[in-house]
Chain A
């Protein structure tokens, strides 16, 4: 059974007078609890793929289904039920504490403030960023920003977490801790779809794919044996 299904999804943008193909006939399924990493350079289409999977953007062609529902796109607040999208580039409203920031998706859905903050605190603890609760976004280290963004995405208790290149701005020595966190989240029954631009990002994942030019290419699943196609493939 699949949680998320992208079926022959395509997406084009206008850039000035040019047509840019961001996604070209992309099909992908994610099972519940699965950790899937997509390796690609910036502008490979990887971010568009995540945004369409999140329901934040509408595909030009193809179908996106999450948990049996058709995603139509245009959910600009990223609040499709059951999907959390870690917004790594978000600027906080002035003066807002990290705790309020993480609680925001719940407050936006009409939760009582004290209950929302209690759940936000739990998520900050879950991602190892409890100490950040009273701080403001501009005071955070890059690795803390990633953790806080994940806490905010997790606060609505989604079944699928989407993370766009979580180690991109993180210090070299902090990266594996971020990836171990992603791994531990997926071990706890949450499905994760992440993008990465480095080999470390696909280490230890359940399934890894590569993307370039808006096309998903190679795919490797962790369970399969060591197959090196270049050997014994014949001249």
Chain B
């Protein structure tokens, strides 16, 4: 399964059982600008995930809290099919996330801490901000300590080839750092947006 949309949908279903249109809205809120699939692709993703036994439908319980709604629903429209993740879906998703981060133990460590923060439920965003700040500090430090690539003036073919390899290795490290800087900018915006939606409900300081 190579589609990023499929993995994103699986991740959302793991967070909580959900149905097509709701997943479409959640995906738009979460990944808007990064992933913008049409709703048809959400349904295609649900089909593919179900075929692969990574999710399963939860038909029976759907409108259970509104019995009257259930009686009227068939006349109006098709029932919404809620999906939940299977155990193999959760496992596949974990493996996929780990695979995405395989090159980068620091990132995995930070995500683990962020997840731990959310689970602890205390001063969530302040601690997340602090983690993102610390991570940014680590990234900018690493970036500033990378040397500029060697000049392209190898005198022998062997020296020139060695320089080429060094340049490519440096480019790979910088590419990862660029991805992390982009992630940091994104994470800050997400945390800010989260705080804005909570303002009024909580009295956390706006800038911890």
Q: Which residues of A contact B (CB under 8 A)?
A: 37, 39, 41, 176, 179-180, 183, 198-200, 202-205, 207-210, 212-213, 217-222, 224, 226-231, 233, 235
Contacts and interface: CB of A to CB of B under 8 A. Distances in A.
Contacts of B87: none
B181 A39 contact: yes
Contacts of B139: 218
B174 A203 contact: yes
Contacts of A229: 134, 137-138
Given A39-B181, A198-B174, A198-B178, A222 B145 contact: yes
Given A41-B185, A198-B174, A199-B178, A176 B138 contact: no
A111 B178 CA distance: 45
Interface in B81-111: 106, 109-110
B106 A203 contact: no
Contacts of A221: 144
Contacts of B147: 203-204
Given A41-B185, A203-B144, A212-B185, A230 B135 contact: yes
B80 interface: no
Given A209-B140, A219-B140, A221-B144, 6 more contacts: A39-B181, A180-B148, A204-B147, A218-B137, A220-B140, A227-B141
B28 interface: no
A203 B148 CA distance: 6
24 contacts: A39-B140, A41-B185, A176-B149, A198-B174, A199-B181, A203-B170, A204-B146, A204-B147, A204-B148, A208-B141, A208-B143, A217-B136, A218-B140, A218-B141, A219-B137, A220-B143, A222-B144, A226-B141, A227-B141, A229-B134, A229-B137, A229-B138, A230-B135, A233-B134
Given A41-B185, A200-B174, A218-B140, A228 B106 contact: yes
Nearest to B134: A229
B124 interface: no
DSSP class of B's interface residues: helix, strand, loop or mixed? helix
Contacts of A205: 144
Given A176-B149, A198-B174, A210 B134 contact: no
Contacts of B181: 39, 199, 210
Interface string B1-19: 0000000000000000000
B174 A199 contact: yes
A210 B188 contact: no
Contacts of B144: 37, 202-205, 207-208, 220-222
B103 to A, nearest CB: 15
A204 B138 CA distance: 15
Interface in B113-166: 113, 116, 133-149, 151
A230 B174 CA distance: 19
A183 B135 CA distance: 26
B136 A230 contact: no
Contacts of B141: 208, 218, 220, 224, 226-228
B58 interface: no
Contacts of B148: 176, 179-180, 183, 200, 203-204
A180 B153 CA distance: 14
Contacts of A213: 188
